[in-house]
Amino acid sequence: MKISIFGLGYVGCVGLGCLAELGHELIGVDIDVEKVNLINNGKATIVEKEIDGIIEKNRSSNLIRATTNCSEAVEKTDIAIICVGTPNDTNGHLDMSHIYSISKDIGQAIKNKNEFFTIAVRSTVIPGTNCKIAEIIELESGKKNIKDFCVVSNPEFLREGTAVKDFFNPPYTVLASESEKGIEKMQKVYENIDSEIIKVSIGVAELIKFVNNSYHGLKVAFANEIGRICKSLNIDSRVLMELFVKDSSLNISQAYFKPGFAYGGSCLPKDLKALNTISHDNYIKTPILSSIEISNQIHIEYAFELIKNKNKKNIGFYGLSFKDGTDDLRFSPALEVAERLLGKGYGVRIYDKNINISKLMGKNKNFLFEKLPHINEILQDDLDTFISSVEIIVVVNKGENISALNERVLGKKEVVDLVRVTEKFKNYEFYEGICW
């Protein structure tokens, strides 16, 4: 395929060389004449393993060349891949000026082009950019998005230092567009790369890089906080973290990565608090560890406000314990929300098949009665009575008979969902999810 690459920095230079390796014909475009000259002389614009040989070889076989002339590149190709820089501005926002300026140039350049043109956005961009690029191009060219051209979001996941290897072995290839034709074109571009192509919404494609990189930063800073605590206790942090990452069922896994309600229970909050006091007692600053509980509390507050803002008086909690399959109510975040609603004069009813007051014992029972002294009056064991006595159902746990709830509630009652109870509710007017 004939492809132009806009921006010949780390991402653009690697893309230029590696797409040529896959047999495509490439024209690189940059405003920096020095970079353009380097490519035309068969030299890479960056220092990166393997890239020198790749650029030299593909320049010799005429699969790549570079120019400062945007119109020429657009005229001679069917696809443009945008790889220009998006650095932070002084306030921390992404500076999108290069993206908008290149969109204007491309818009001008496709004015006289008769063929359908695909613009893929490889740069990391703020949500809404795909749409904004389409608007700019429509304005500049007088052409119609989707009919005459399209914009495909296609985030890049390579890392400097291993960029060529990463280019050919991405975790996956993400594509998002309003145009199916554009997606198909981009699938062809990457057809010889052995990785799953995942089609997502434009919003997901635009946000994923920020989430990835924030999480990578979190991992480094978390490991270093643990390292500082370990050092103060004369414990080898490397040995400890090697053990930590070996647990691929709970630690390095999909577990706990589902947006939903706050954590709770008898172990997690207790041990987190204990670790924070250990670091405090040893004069170690660990802001990540100490902000976890704050973040969790903010989430509980958020759920409370969500329910309150529905302006209904009678609230039903479907589930009360901190997770499915247990009657442990200690530090259950739902219990905290129920307690606060009762304190504000709301009517609260609870249905939780796992809770049998006569079987509760010890600290668990004491905790429940301390928080909800009238639990006997508000806990209901018949689902239909429970549903008919409330105006909103707050789904806390999925439980075994969740489908019975779904059938009875869908279209009849307002629902606040803390667990993504079912996809069926998604288009239901009186439904709101906590994180979706």
Which residues are known catalytic residues?
A: 267
Q: Does 156 bind ligand NAD (CB under 6 A)?
A: yes
Between 15 and 316, CB nearer to ligand NAD: 15
Angle at 336 between CA 420 and CA 319, to 5 degrees: 40
Binds ligand NAD (CB under 6 A): choice among 24, 98, 185, 349:
98
24 vs 190: CA distance, rounded Å: 10
Q: Where are the alpha helices (DSSP H) in 190-332?
A: 202-232, 237-246, 268-281, 287-308
Binds ligand NAD (CB under 6 A): choice among 3, 4, 10, 386:
10
CA distances from 375 to 79, 231, 349 (A): 64, 47, 9
Cβ–Cβ under 8 Å, residues 149 and 109: no
- Pick the stretch among 98-106, 287-295, 380-388, 418-426 that binds ligand NAD (CB under 6 A): 98-106
Sheet-wide strand order for 431-433: 347-351, 314-318, 392-395, 414-417, 431-433
Q: Does 158 bind ligand NAD (CB under 6 A)?
A: yes
Torsion angle defined by CA atoms of residues 288, 294, 298 and 299, in that order, rounded to the nearest 10 degrees: 60
By CB under 6 A, the residues from 44 to 63 that bind ligand NAD are none
Question: What character string, x for contact with ligand NAD (CB under 6 A) and - otherwise, covers 58-97?
Answer: -------------------------xxxx-----------
First-to-last alpha carbon distance for the chain, in angstroms, is 39
334 vs 357: CA distance, rounded Å: 17
In the complex, minimum distance from the CB of residue 205 to ligand NAD, in angstroms, rounded to a whole number: 13
Binds ligand NAD (CB under 6 A): choice among 1, 9, 364, 420:
9
- Pick the stretch among 30-38, 279-287, 305-313, 416-424 that binds ligand NAD (CB under 6 A): 30-38
CA 236 to chain centre: 33
How many residues bind ligand NAD (CB under 6 A)? The answer is 25
Binds ligand NAD (CB under 6 A): choice among 35, 299, 330, 413:
35
**Residues in touch with ligand NAD (CB under 6 A):** 6-12, 29-32, 35, 83-86, 98, 101-102, 123-124, 156, 158-160
